[in-house]
Structure 1
Amino acid sequence: MRLRPDPFTLILLAAILAASLWPSEGTTAEWLGRLGSLAVAVLFFIHGAALSRDQIRAGATHWRLHLFIAALTFLFFPLLVLPIDGLAPRWIPKDLALGFLYLGVLPSAVSSSIAFTAMARGNVPAAVCSAAASNVFGMMLTPFLLMLLVSTTGDGGFDTLQALRDIVLQLLLPFALGHGLRHWLGPWLDRHPGFSARYDQGVILLIVYAAFSQSVASGLWQQLPVTAIVLAVALCLLLLVILLALTTWLSRRAGFNRADEIAAVFCGSKKSLASGLPMAKVLFAGHPGFGMIILPIICYNQIQILVGAALARRYVQSSPH
């Protein structure tokens, strides 16, 4: 079985390469930062307008499964990444370790969770509900959980009050405004589902290029040895394997049927790049090690897509006919 990266993965790598060779500096970097902040606010406005209340109600009755997935996303995963901080600074730089803590508190991915659940013939309505709810509550939970993990590990350089203020102004308010205008904007977004996905990808590329430009100017590749990059990729793969095995085992122990198990496996093990990078831009605004902080999110996202596709095919092949 061949595992091939999707085209967006290659574009992401090209953005990192471009930032490494031709980083934005000075006035260009300042304008790029402002454009990124505006783009993030518009992104959450669009997400608010696209969120269907009927869609949420359709899966909301399956509360046991939703609580189970939420516990995996916001409890088990943060506990799994907590020991990684002990590898810094001997094995990995502190900013990279902080990136793993941030990875642990992110909400579940929406599009890939639903797509792989559908591909594997799982409970799609429950996956839609859980993934959407994870991202809505994640805007509030992620900063608090990150603050808790950072205070537990003793890491510095994280201004909690400033981050919470920015989360409210740049994420929650645009999201609420967009959802309030769903009656007018929702039908158009429903008819053009590709618009939101393309805009998400555009914002991600903008953030990645700006982040790595800033970090390259601060000496990213001098501070990040190849061994640390290899270790980061290995840790991302290990985290995913542990989460998949744990989720499968706990789902069966909890008595969920096959369709619910599939939804739990894909929603509970995934982390959102589409939400994670915009939130990181708000939470770590101006941080010189920003490129290093978002590296675990980028690595984990690409690995979860490759492994998820293979796992979905395996579920289909093993399904009873």
Structure 2
Amino acid sequence: MEPLMKYLRMLFDNFTLALLAVVFIATVLPCSGEGAVLFGWLTNLAIGLLFFLHGAKLSREAIIAGAGHWRLHLLVFACTFVLFPLLGLAFKPLFVPLVGNELYLGVLYLCALPATVQSAIAFTSLARGNVPAAICSAAASSLLGIFLTPLLVMLLLGASGDTGSGLDAVLKITLQLLVPFVAGQLARRWIGAWVKRNARWLKVVDQGSILLVVYTAFSEAVVTGLWHTVSAQHLAGLFAVCGILLTVVLLGTRLLGRVLGFNVEDRITILFAGSKKSLATGVPMAQVLFVGGGIGAMILPLMLFHQIQLMVCAVLAQRYAARVEEDERVSAPS
């Protein structure tokens, strides 16, 4: 019973419920007019604070501890920034009829995002994988995503996505994401210990920033008719698309880890670090990259994929952990 309750808490945590509540509130009571302008300013400040805290929390010691495993990191980065985008393009004939053109662009945006940090590390730890390497890969992926994701978005979406000019997008990313991140890294020398001591309530600040961005984005999308353009059929199709994408990537990362000769701990790390996409990075980055009412459709696939990846990877992590424990009991001297 206890493992089941732990699993249910992981799937239906307070943040997931808060996300659903915010989408509902934005649908019923969207901000518009002067309220939308005010929320726009608050959102920009929240995004800056979010990436400042990301920089302040990122431990250079943890990165150094896992940095030497370059073959593993290259494979994880290839899965995150090459395999995902290629799958998004290759499956276009299947995905577009299921979700329509607008949500398909959101799927391509999902494919361009970096890996998530917290859940990749948490699941790797639960499954008894190589945790230092997971910390390094996930943190480096998050940092690389600040540079690579805008480039991939321009390559994948091209003229189809309303991203503004390439130079404007790079400038926005630099000012709103990279500058606060670097400032947080520089400030870590003085505030790192304070950030570590107050990690619990700073997590509320992190999540609150994401919720604010989601509310602003969905409000704008609702005002411009998101739920009139996204049918129930396309929404159901989006579940299938996210499931297909995650299944193929999980099988691919597992196969590549085995074929390239990694040990069990490293294969676990590759599986969980290479199959994740970051909600914490993707939502605020969409606010920076995209203009107009299309932001809601851009982040809807990400929000759904985020929940599905948690559900599936929670089961996989539990199974890996049980297998490792069984192996340890078998090999223990009697």
TM-score range, shorter chain: over 0.9
SS in structure 2 at match of 1:271: coil
Deviations 1:244-282 (A, max 9, x none): 111111101111111111111000000000011011110
Which residue identity is paired with 1:188?
W
- Unmatched segments (≥5 aa) in structure 1: none
Q: Compared with structure 1, are the counterparts of its residues 219 and 140 closer, same or farther at alpha carbon in structure 2 (3 Å cutoff)?
A: same
- Give the structure 1 partner of residue 102 of structure 2: 95
For the pair 1:234 / 2:240, whether they are aligned, the reply is: yes
Q: What do you get for the CA RMSD once the two structures are aligned?
A: 1.6
Which residue identity is paired with 1:46?
L
Number of equivalences: 318
Contact kept, 8 Å, 1:98 with 1:293, in 2: the verdict is: yes
- Give the structure 2 partner of residue 14 of structure 1: 21
Contact kept, 8 Å, 1:189 with 1:195, in 2: the verdict is: no
SS in structure 1 at match of 2:45: helix
1:95 and 1:197 map into 2 onto residues whose CA distance is 32
Contact kept, 8 Å, 1:85 with 1:98, in 2: the verdict is: no
SS in structure 2 at match of 1:181: helix
Give identity over the alignment, percent.
Answer: 48
For the pair 1:278 / 2:284, whether they are aligned, the reply is: yes
- Unmatched segments (≥5 aa) in structure 2: 329-334
TM-score normalised by structure 1 residue count:
0.95
1:18 and 1:157 map into 2 onto residues whose CA distance is 26
SS in structure 1 at match of 2:160: coil
SS in structure 1 at match of 2:99: coil
Contact kept, 8 Å, 1:107 with 1:142, in 2: the verdict is: yes
TM-superposed CA distance for 1:194, in Å, is 2.1
Q: Compared with structure 1, are the counterparts of its residues 176 and 233 closer, same or farther at alpha carbon in structure 2 (3 Å cutoff)?
A: same
1:95 and 1:279 map into 2 onto residues whose CA distance is 18
Q: 2:200 aligns with which of 194, 210, 229?
A: 194
Q: 2:214 aligns with which of 208, 212, 215?
A: 208
Deviations 1:173-201 (A, max 9, x none): 11111111111011111222223422221
- Give the structure 2 partner of residue 314 of structure 1: 319
SS in structure 2 at match of 1:177: helix
- Give the structure 1 partner of residue 116 of structure 2: 109
TM-superposed CA distance for 1:65, in Å, is 0.5
TM-superposed CA distance for 1:84, in Å, is 4.7
Contact kept, 8 Å, 2:105 with 2:298, in 1: the verdict is: yes
1:197 and 1:260 map into 2 onto residues whose CA distance is 28
Q: 1:178 aligns with which of 180, 184, 202?
A: 184
Range with bigger deviation, 219-228 or 90-99 = 90-99
SS in structure 2 at match of 1:92: helix
TM-superposed CA distance for 1:294, in Å, is 0.5
TM-superposed CA distance for 1:85, in Å, is 4.4
For the pair 1:61 / 2:97, whether they are aligned, the reply is: no
SS in structure 1 at match of 2:116: coil
- Give the structure 2 partner of residue 70 of structure 1: 77
Contact kept, 8 Å, 2:103 with 2:301, in 1: the verdict is: yes
TM-superposed CA distance for 1:317, in Å, is 1.7
Range with bigger deviation, 4-13 or 158-167 = 4-13
Q: 1:165 aligns with which of 164, 171, 187?
A: 171
Q: Compared with structure 1, are the counterparts of its residues 263 and 107 closer, same or farther at alpha carbon in structure 2 (3 Å cutoff)?
A: same
Contact kept, 8 Å, 1:87 with 1:97, in 2: the verdict is: no
Q: Compared with structure 1, are the counterparts of its residues 95 and 287 closer, same or farther at alpha carbon in structure 2 (3 Å cutoff)?
A: farther
Q: 2:147 aligns with which of 120, 140, 143?
A: 140
TM-superposed CA distance for 1:158, in Å, is 2.3
Q: 2:304 aligns with which of 299, 307, 318?
A: 299
TM-superposed CA distance for 1:90, in Å, is 5.3
Contact kept, 8 Å, 1:93 with 1:223, in 2: the verdict is: no
2:215 and 2:182 map into 1 onto residues whose CA distance is 28
TM-score normalised by structure 2 residue count:
0.91
Which residue identity is paired with 1:266?
F
SS in structure 1 at match of 2:162: coil
